Amino acid sequence: MIVKLIFPPHFSVYQPYLSLPALAAFLKERGISVSQEDLNLSIFYSLMRPRYLTRLQRELETTKQDYEKRRNLAEERRQHYEAVLKALLVAPLIIPRIDEAISFFRNNDNFPNFDKYRLYERIIEKALEIVSAAYYPTYISLTNFIMDYSPESSKQIFRAIESKLTNPYIPFLEEYVSTKLSVNAPDLVGISLTSMSQVIPGFTLARIIKQHLPEVKIVVGGVIVNHLASKIKAVPKLFNLFDYLIRGEGETPLYKLCLSITGEIPLNLVPNLVYYERNLIQETNYVFIEEVNTLPTPDYEGFVLEKYLSPMPVLSIEPARGCYWRKCTFCNQYDIHGDTFRPRSPQRVVSDIKTLQTKYGATLFNISNEGVPGKHLVAIANEIISSDLQIQWYAGAQLKGLSRKACMLLKKAGCQKLMFGLESGAHRVLKLMNKAIILNKVPQILRNCTEANIDVHLYLMLGFPTETLQEIEVTKNFVSRLILGLKRDGFSFYISTFQAMINSPVVNQLCDLGYKVLSKGEEYDLEYIYEHHEHQRANKIGQRLSRQQLEDISSDIAKELYSQLPPQTCPEEITHYMCYRLLEYKFTIDHQENREVRKIFPNFRKKIIKKSDWISSQRAKFTKNLIDSYWDNGTIAYNLLGDNYCLLNHSAVAFIESLNQPKPVDPSTGEFFSNNNSVTQCDPSLFVNELLHKNIIRIEET
């Protein structure tokens, strides 16, 4: 019996996800031959190959030329044209630097430099923009994957997994299956789907396996499959892509499925299983409980840890399964584990850490549970201290049970950051959420963290049903006051806008709150997020805000809160933040680099003006939406350092092109370039100064 576990695109490439290592360890302990692969990471590197990006660049140039043969473009075509133009602008700057950018994230010597961090992150994002333009209207980034087809519709999924024009993963998955997976083909392939961004890529992989290796059985599982299981059962056609679906926790069901495939037990004795047989959906007993203290240490063998975009390995361990509180009305994260909270003993947790530290050299760990009770964290910390483990870690924690003494103990055990789900600063909203947070105790808990030198992260949520603008303001003011008592250079936050997710209790409460749940339509048979609109309000608490309004308010609040914090000098992404902090680098922005250009103008003739290495330009026929103004047949410039686009007038273009001349340039006259159709006469020094400010030219000593 050979099992292959696969983690498909699209997901984070900063650290390995825990699901496959937990399953692999369980199967290996029981004698099953199993291998695992983070295909998400492997394909990311394929997308980032300079040769591949160069091929896309050539294809995009052809597309641009085809568009420019036309007199006019319809709006949709114009948007595609501008996506192509943007990609062609960045390509000459990005492709030669992409290997350097990826190396930066894997090198702990160079990593703690925030200016370089932002630049190299931008380079990778811009490389993904090239891929997006080639597969337009698909959008792919480091954090997201969106197609014109919805993963909430089985009908659209079946179109997406066949769409070679818009699905960038098809060629790579076909190559993977035909050249790698087919060699010593497994008996069973397990595909783990953790986020909605993995649904279409994961089902694309399943289709290709079925096409090339029809004898191989496929089982799907993971967070998303669990949430959508009842809907998937109503779409038998989906079982053309896979053979089995595992609900709940997967260790025992997957092991027993292996026994069934080898003929040792009948299929109906495999728990948590859904499958299609005799033209009917079949379902076995739903048994989701695992004894967490008997589970083996996660096994990361097969994961190439040094290839993740992180300067040191960051591994996850489970301190518990389920949620201690499990009553928050907006949450569906613990639906898999049912009405349980099963802590793993501190001794087993520390044993896991020791094993992973010895085997992989890891010193940084994610204690992977969103709301670990303070009492359990303290018990784990005591065990870490008594075992004399030299590690660093971060965890999600509940906003209670953390005294100053407890926080000091956590810090001594290596805790660097705690993440809390505050969500709101308004009593009424918290009560509706059923958060059980005592607001007047929150400031002291966070001060306890600060005094122990533990960084704090807060999750906030706006737009919960019936929340008013006044209550949103209360939340903002509450957090503002919290900031005053915190270690501000280690404080971070994330503001989300409420979404009514499948299997969350609030979905069933929306009617009582005065809202009507609206389906996206019959076609959306795998609906994950429910639209909801206010249809009545007996108590007239406040007006309904649109999602866009909430997003705008969130952005404004974030800006206001950031204004109370020191200038950002380290990453926000938690994996990178932790690595950055642990490398103990103090980065200070060199403001001297931004000195006024006019100060060097007295010696202007002793300097040479050159075109910046960070600028590229393209002639563009249609530029209406790319910049603020419309100017056909303009020249668009892109500045990688500032990440901005501008339209150059003819004088600016002529001046920049003249920089290729062998002699130093001394402009005696010049015209200012701007984002409008006017040409403004100006002093030559101001003209040059503006070009310098935009990083379009640079000045070197002669």
Give the residue among 546, 566, 569, 420 at the shortest CA–CA distance from 493. Answer: 420
Give the H/E segment covering residue 172: helix 170-176
Give the CA distances from residue 461 to residues 145, 444, 453, 455, in Å, rounded to whole numbers and listed in that order: 23, 21, 26, 20
In terms of phi and psi (left: phi > 0; alpha: psi -120 to 50; beta: otherwise), the region of 665 is beta
Q: What is the predicted pLDDT for the residue at 626? A: 56
Q: What is the predicted pLDDT for the residue at 587? A: 40
Q: What is the predicted pLDDT for the residue at 691? A: 74
Is 472's pLDDT higher than 80? yes
Residue 396: CB atoms within 10 A of its CB come to 19
Give the pLDDT band (50/70/90) at residue 191.
Answer: very high
Q: What is the predicted pLDDT for the residue at 697? A: 77
Q: What is the predicted pLDDT for the residue at 131? A: 98
Give the pLDDT band (50/70/90) at residue 656.
Answer: confident
User: pLDDT (tens digit, 9 = 90+) per residue, 365-383?
Assistant: 999 888 899 999 999 999 9
- 281 three-state secondary structure: strand
User: pLDDT (tens digit, 9 = 90+) per residue, 614-646?
Assistant: 888 888 887 655 554 444 457 888 889 888 887
Is 289's pLDDT higher than 50? yes
Q: What is the predicted pLDDT for the residue at 644? A: 83
The fraction of the chain above a pLDDT of 70, given in percent, is: 88
Q: For 546-566, what is the mean pLDDT?
A: 92
> Phi and psi dihedrals of 313, rounded to 5?
-65, 135
- 578 three-state secondary structure: helix
Is 432's pLDDT higher than 80? yes
User: pLDDT (tens digit, 9 = 90+) per residue, 136-158?
Assistant: 999 999 999 999 999 999 999 99
For residues 166 and 234, give the distance between their C-alpha atoms in angstroms, rounded to a whole number. Answer: 28
Q: What is the predicted pLDDT for the residue at 202? A: 98
Is 339's pLDDT higher than 50? yes
Q: What is the predicted pLDDT for the residue at 591? A: 32
Give the pLDDT band (50/70/90) at residue 543.
Answer: low
Q: Average pLDDT of the chain?
A: 88
